[in-house]
A and B are shown apart, each in its own frame.
Chain A
Amino acid sequence: MRRAFAVGMMALATLVAATPAFADDLDDYLDKAAAADYAGTQVVVTVWDGEHTAEEVYVERLDEMLMVGSEGREVVAGGGKTFTGFEGVVLAEWAGSEVSDRYTTSEPQPTMQLGRDALAVTVFEDDRPRVHIVFDADTWAPMSTEVYDASGNRFRFASFTDFDTAPRRAYEKMGSTEDTYEVVTRIDETSLPAMVAGYGRLDVYRDQDGVIQAFYGDGLFSFSVFQLRGDHWERRFREASAFHVDGDPYAVLANPADVWVRWMNHGTTYLLVGDLPPDHLEVVLAQLPEPGDGNLLARLWRGLFG
């Protein structure tokens, strides 16, 4: 009897060890990473539709502010603010968020990265690897991150090529003044859906030009959908590739660390900016207002009455 009990306990212990951790653990890991102070050079590569885009940046994380710089261009973000050295944006308020329960994590596995002790964690979505993160064991800084598409192929990769736990405090030298910030206010009303492909609409903002921004996130990836009245475009979209969802065409620009998507619907320009994987993007776009100019009668109505 005692032997059977011992075997049972061993089986239970094995089962517990093999069971993936839950989203709460990932929340904990990400919180620790956000609180870490570090600096270094990072290479970011994205493979989108067979094309590579890459960027080498200096990254500094200090006091939960993140500075990213590349060839004299720098941006600081943190605490609802963004600052580029001569102007900035600050949000008045925002909602809290948690990691979606569609994600589970593996137990941290000891490894080495750049000669330092590290912990590797794989994030699963529906039992398929979605993200693999190697954290510095000492500081919980994210030493490298790999993001996979639905086929399990790595589509985005970021890794430090040199790493330091003592930031140079470079962002403190950028010199900001409060009057250079544009304050963006939160609003309640929007025509955009509250939930899109598992991403919750966390906040809606309106800026000084009347542009509506709906921010969606699932605790791991996030994106904003901007609504601009009228036909707006950006010259960089001349380099965009066509992306079709249910036969509808979208203009997509894949950058090393994010993707921009532009389309028009009934006289409104939509811009999506975010870091979501290609398969997530496809489902998200299918659930947002689809591309289309409307019929002649609708355009006549807009022409006459706005």
Chain B
Amino acid sequence: MACVNEPLISAYLDGALGPGELDVIVGHLETCPACLEMFHAIKAVRAAVRTLPGLDPPDELVDLVGVGAWAAAPVRRVAAHPGAELSAYLDGELSTPEAATVTAHLATCSACRSELQELDAARTAIRALPRLEAPDVAFPVRVASADGASVRRRLRLRYLASAAAVAAALLALGVLGGGDQPSTVDIDRLVDHHKARQSVEAGFGVIPALLPEVNP
């Protein structure tokens, strides 16, 4: 095949290849020393770029350049303390360089780490609110009155009041909504347990080994 080009190798390193492209690239890299050399060169440049310090221009410079220039930029500017960016960070909505800047800041700022933990805990608590389910019971209603509509309305209100009372009682017992409130599990620790056991299997390391803290 023809030699692969630089954008394709970058896409390969990003895991962003389209269906079918992966086989072509990998097969070619295995047989073409020139492209393999280019692959290593691109990889080295990317590694070097990753090690560059984050840019945090002083406010005076921002003012001097003008707000419009920053506003027009596609990348959100992460301030000295991320503040509102932490929410987007938790949601995975930041771009890769933005997320890297926040990650680097979190590594050195205990206040922002605490803020992030509180934010995450608050979200977990909100998600943990129990779901409300109506009891699945039959409630036969016979209406023989000429004023059927008003009777049905009164019965419906009485039924709803009863159902609400039952639901409140069941919620107090923690029955509805699946019982216990959800809690966060440290899946990395469980993955470590799996790796420990897997490490005595002969296939360990031959089938691609588990990675540390994937999808951080």
Q: At the interface, is chain A mostly helix, strand, loop or mixed?
A: strand
Residue among B13, B17, B40, B197 with max Cβ neighbours from chain A (10 Å): B197
Residues in B with CB closer than 8 Å to A21 are: none
Given A54-B15, A71-B50, A299-B178 in contact, is the A230-B208 Cβ separation under 8 Å? no
User: Is B211 within 8 A of A213, CB to CB?
Assistant: no
Interface residues of B in 141-188 (CB under 8 A from A): 170, 173-176, 178-185, 187
Selected contact of B183 from candidates A142, A162, A232, CB within 8 Å: A232
Q: Any chain A CB within 8 A of the CB of B85?
A: no
User: Is A273 within 8 A of B184, CB to CB?
Assistant: no
Given A161-B40, A231-B180, A234-B187 in contact, is the A133-B212 Cβ separation under 8 Å? no
- Encode A157-180 as 1/0 by CB contact (under 8 A) with B: 111011000000000000000000
Q: Any chain B CB within 8 A of the CB of A11?
A: no
Q: Any chain A CB within 8 A of the CB of B109?
A: no
Assembled-state Cα–Cα distance A147/B120 (Å): 37
> Interface with A: B19-27, B56-64, B76-84, which one?
B19-27
Assembled-state Cα–Cα distance A33/B203 (Å): 9
Closest CB-CB distance, B88 to chain A, in whole Å? 13
Residues in A with CB closer than 8 Å to B40 are: 161-162
User: Is B181 within 8 A of A215, CB to CB?
Assistant: no
Closest CB-CB distance, B184 to chain A, in whole Å? 7
User: Is A228 within 8 A of B185, CB to CB?
Assistant: yes
Closest CB-CB distance, B204 to chain A, in whole Å? 7
Residues in B with CB closer than 8 Å to A234 are: 184-185, 187
User: Is A79 within 8 A of B183, CB to CB?
Assistant: no
Q: Any chain B CB within 8 A of the CB of A244?
A: no
Q: Any chain A CB within 8 A of the CB of B36?
A: yes
Residues in B with CB closer than 8 Å to A68 are: 209-212
User: Is A97 within 8 A of B201, CB to CB?
Assistant: yes
Residue among A161, A258, A264 with max Cβ neighbours from chain B (10 Å): A258
User: Is B195 within 8 A of A157, CB to CB?
Assistant: no
Q: Any chain B CB within 8 A of the CB of A192?
A: no
Closest CB-CB distance, A192 to chain B, in whole Å? 15
Selected contact of A59 from candidates B15, B22, B180, B209, CB within 8 Å: B209
Given A73-B213, A77-B198, A267-B179 in contact, is the A220-B193 Cβ separation under 8 Å? no
User: Is A145 within 8 A of B202, CB to CB?
Assistant: no
Q: Any chain A CB within 8 A of the CB of B215?
A: yes
Given A89-B193, A233-B185 in contact, is the A55-B214 Cβ separation under 8 Å? yes
Chain A residue nearest to B215 (CB atoms) is A236
> Interface with B: A12-20, A80-88, A281-289, which one?
A80-88
Chain B residue nearest to A53 (CB atoms) is B15
Interface residues of A in 41-82 (CB under 8 A from B): 42-45, 47, 50, 52-57, 59, 61, 66, 68-71, 73-75, 77-82
Residues in A with CB closer than 8 Å to B135 are: 296
Q: Any chain B CB within 8 A of the CB of A196?
A: no
Q: Any chain B CB within 8 A of the CB of A90?
A: yes
User: Is A50 within 8 A of B19, CB to CB?
Assistant: yes
Interface residues of B in 110-124 (CB under 8 A from A): 120, 124
User: Is B209 within 8 A of A303, CB to CB?
Assistant: no
Assembled-state Cα–Cα distance A113/B26 (Å): 12
User: Is B179 within 8 A of A82, CB to CB?
Assistant: no
Q: Any chain A CB within 8 A of the CB of B190?
A: yes
Interface residues of B in 5-21 (CB under 8 A from A): 12-17, 19
Residues in A with CB closer than 8 Å to B22 are: 45, 47, 52, 154, 157
Selected contact of A255 from candidates B183, B196, B215, CB within 8 Å: B215
User: Is B208 within 8 A of A222, CB to CB?
Assistant: no
Residues in A with CB closer than 8 Å to B36 are: 161
Closest CB-CB distance, B216 to chain A, in whole Å? 8
Assembled-state Cα–Cα distance A89/B193 (Å): 6
Q: Any chain B CB within 8 A of the CB of A239?
A: yes
Residue among A42, A253, A302 with max Cβ neighbours from chain B (10 Å): A302
Closest CB-CB distance, A151 to chain B, in whole Å? 13
Chain A residue nearest to B205 (CB atoms) is A66
Given A30-B202, A273-B190 in contact, is the A233-B182 Cβ separation under 8 Å? yes
Closest CB-CB distance, B94 to chain A, in whole Å? 14
Selected contact of A236 from candidates B183, B187, B209, CB within 8 Å: B187
Assembled-state Cα–Cα distance A92/B214 (Å): 26
User: Is A219 within 8 A of B201, CB to CB?
Assistant: yes
Given A232-B185, A255-B215, A257-B209 in contact, is the A77-B203 Cβ separation under 8 Å? no
Q: Can you give 18 A-B contacts (C-beta < 8 A)?
A: A31-B202, A52-B17, A55-B15, A68-B209, A73-B216, A131-B207, A145-B206, A159-B26, A161-B39, A203-B197, A205-B197, A217-B198, A217-B201, A228-B185, A231-B179, A233-B184, A234-B187, A257-B208
